[in-house]
Structure 1
């Protein structure tokens, strides 16, 4: 079978297309024919050895996928050949078939397409975990989403709206903000042209926002923290800007606010029941038409390098899908 392979750590241009042996599932494992895989920003880091997961080459990028069960190992009870599934495997999905454990997979309803499902697990799973399990977001609260036009930012806009919140989308251009508006954002802040703290305070009549969703880090983190209200919650999602900010803790004290880490990859291991509940909710919302991943582009295996380069260069709005 064909696979995109990282043979040596480095930029996307180092990747190769290789013919590899199709694996056979061991006990408890499932072989899935990949219909669609999704790339995320962290894939640009994994292939350079700069992410918290550091597989040894050779390996394939791609953590999330959707497809059809091709074979099952001994002891697998939940799935059988022919079942439609979606899943998450940290890395290794950008290939024609991938091995996953039974716990890595979720049954895929007929009404949800493979492209949508492949782009759902990481960004939407992270976001619902952040809002539901960490911030305890309530209907009527106000959420500020930084980096609102990226894959995880658009997911945050959609999910916050599905949960009944008011959403303030924050991004660096009018074009990006209009994309967020199209996914349901109530208000827009261009932090390349406006002072983020001042504008968020103005939009909340000086009270500050209830929840900040920050997948960006860098220069805007402190300004957004200063714009939180009393007992606000600041969700630390990631650091797409490249810089890990240092926060003045006196602000946390004076606001009585919480700074909450969101490590979804560990949460799904430690809290599998909550993860299954969240995925069931996301699939239900897709079925109801309340959310749907915005697909930036669909690429073939041969175009994976180009897709990862666009991610690395911050040219992606929404999800990148690879169709083997």
Structure 2
């Protein structure tokens, strides 16, 4: 959810890969289109249909596994029309640590592959500035007390990716009498 907003902040056009039940919320956050990650044999075709046949310039791969090679396929296009090299940033492996990749496509299409874990202090300060200004709105799915950490972990594991936003752990002392954390707001406040 943050990545979609960050793309819009810096002027990029984000396309999201998710379950279709999250599509409306992702479009509200700024996704140009949402491509269902189901039906893998037609994934690349559906991405190219969403982009009017244009290859994707950059991918942030949070999934890994069999999706990585498919993401590379979405970035391969007419090299005559490109002004930059395609860039694949790897930042997760929820779909598996092993990916089978056709390496010839990496060098023939000059795909740049970068591992991403965390940024610089300056980048963190910029993120905080965007949050403070309201340009970047953290999306929260829910919160748990620190004393309920095991319950939060079970919730996270059992739900898999069937929720939208972050699950936050709040120190018990900061939990108000209504069962909600202090000073935490999300992109969509109740009633909006």
Range into which the TM-score falls when normalised by the shorter chain: 0.7 to 0.9
Q: Which has the higher helix share?
A: 2
Aligned counterpart, 2:143: 298
Q: Which has the higher strand share?
A: 1
Q: 1: CA distance between counterparts of 2:2 and 2:55?
A: 22
Contact 1:310 1:316 in 2 (8 A): no
Corresponding residue to 1:212 among 59, 66, 69: 59
Q: How far 1:188 moved relative to its partner?
A: 1.2
Q: 2: CA distance between counterparts of 1:298 and 1:225?
A: 36
Under a length normalisation based on structure 2, what TM-score does the superposition of the two structures give? 0.76
1:179 pairs with 2:179: no
Aligned counterpart, 2:122: 277
Assess, with a 3 A threshold, how the Cα gap between structure 1 residues 204 and 254 changes in structure 2: closer, same or farther.
Answer: farther
1:234 pairs with 2:79: no
The root-mean-square deviation of aligned C-alpha atoms, in Å, is: 1.8
Q: How far 1:323 moved relative to its partner?
A: 1.5
Corresponding residue to 2:109 among 241, 249, 255: 255
Q: How far 1:289 moved relative to its partner?
A: 1.4
Assess, with a 3 A threshold, how the Cα gap between structure 1 residues 179 and 257 changes in structure 2: closer, same or farther.
Answer: same
Q: Which structure is higher in RCO with an 8 Å CA cutoff and minimum separation 6?
A: 1
Corresponding residue to 2:49 among 175, 197, 202: 202
1:159 pairs with 2:159: no
Q: 1: CA distance between counterparts of 2:122 and 2:113?
A: 24
1:170 pairs with 2:17: yes
Q: 2: CA distance between counterparts of 1:204 and 1:316?
A: 26
Q: How far 1:249 moved relative to its partner?
A: 0.7
Corresponding residue to 2:70 among 201, 223, 237: 223
Under a length normalisation based on structure 1, what TM-score does the superposition of the two structures give? 0.47
Q: Deviations over 1:218-247 (max 9, x none)?
A: 222111111104421011111012342131
Work out the number of aligned pairs and report it: 161
Secondary structure in 1 matching 2:66: helix
Secondary structure in 2 matching 1:245: coil
Q: How far 1:294 moved relative to its partner?
A: 0.7
